[in-house]
């Protein structure tokens, strides 16, 4: 996992975690990275300094995974997993057909981009849901 400092074309700065630099590039080309302040998809990486430890102790992989696991636990505890029906349910909630509630699930990139284009707020998650891994 890598954390990038990002900036949109409106000069709003924010950070996000990605599996790799290639994952960032792929999501950015697909318009899936958006500014949480203004919604712009014109996002670039900002200049950033590497994090260098001055102590002899190096963070373990477990320490790096911990924030992602904490996020996964929070999402899974407070949201309903809807699997492949994510796009339909997100759209139905936005259109007032079904009651709003926190959900997470699966979506093809093109379908998720269409949701964003239609003003339906969605965010890619940096983990595979446990329900999918079982």
Q: Do 30 and 88 reside in the same domain of the chain?
A: no
**In this structure, what token pair is assigned to residue 103?**
């959900």
> Considering the entire predicted model, what is its pTM?
0.52
Question: What's the longest Cα–Cα distance across the chain?
Answer: 57
The pLDDT of residue 129 is: 82
SS3 of residue 15 by DSSP: strand
Using DSSP bridges, classify how beta strands 80-83 and 43-45 pair: parallel, antiparallel or unpaired.
unpaired
> Residue 121 falls within a domain, yes or no?
yes
Residue 19 resides in a domain: yes
Domain enclosing residue 92, as ranges:
60-127
pLDDT for 85: 95
Q: Which residues contact 127 (CB under 8 A, 6 or more apart)?
A: 68, 69, 71, 72
76/115 same-domain check: yes
Q: Residue 52 domain-assigned?
A: no
Split at pLDDT 50, 70, 90, the class of 96 is: very high
Closest CA to 31 of 41, 23, 40: 41
Number of domain units in the chain:
2
Q: Please indicate, yes or no, whether residues 33 and 84 belong to a single structural domain of this protein.
A: no
* 55 lies in some domain: no
Neighbours of 107 (CB within 10 A): 19
Percent of the chain with pLDDT over 70: 84
pLDDT tens track for 22-81: 888 888 888 888 888 888 889 888 755 555 555 555 555 555 557 888 888 999 999 999
Residue 9 to residue 40: CA distance in whole angstroms:
7
């Amino acid at each position: 996992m890598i954390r990038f400092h990002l900036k949109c074309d409106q000069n709003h700065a924010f950070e996000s975690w990605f599996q790799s630099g290639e994952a960032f590039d792929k999501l950015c080309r697909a318009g899936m990275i958006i500014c949480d302040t203004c919604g712009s998809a014109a996002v670039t990486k900002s200049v950033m300094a590497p994090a260098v430890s001055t102590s002899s102790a190096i963070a373990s992989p477990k320490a790096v995974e911990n924030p992602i696991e904490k996020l996964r636990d929070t999402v899974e505890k407070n949201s309903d997993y809807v699997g492949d029906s994510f796009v339909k349910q997100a759209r139905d909630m936005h259109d007032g057909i079904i009651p709003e509630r926190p959900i997470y699930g699966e979506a093809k990139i093109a379908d998720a981009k269409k949701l964003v284009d239609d003003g339906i707020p969605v965010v890619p998650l940096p983990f595979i849901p446990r329900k999918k891994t079982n």
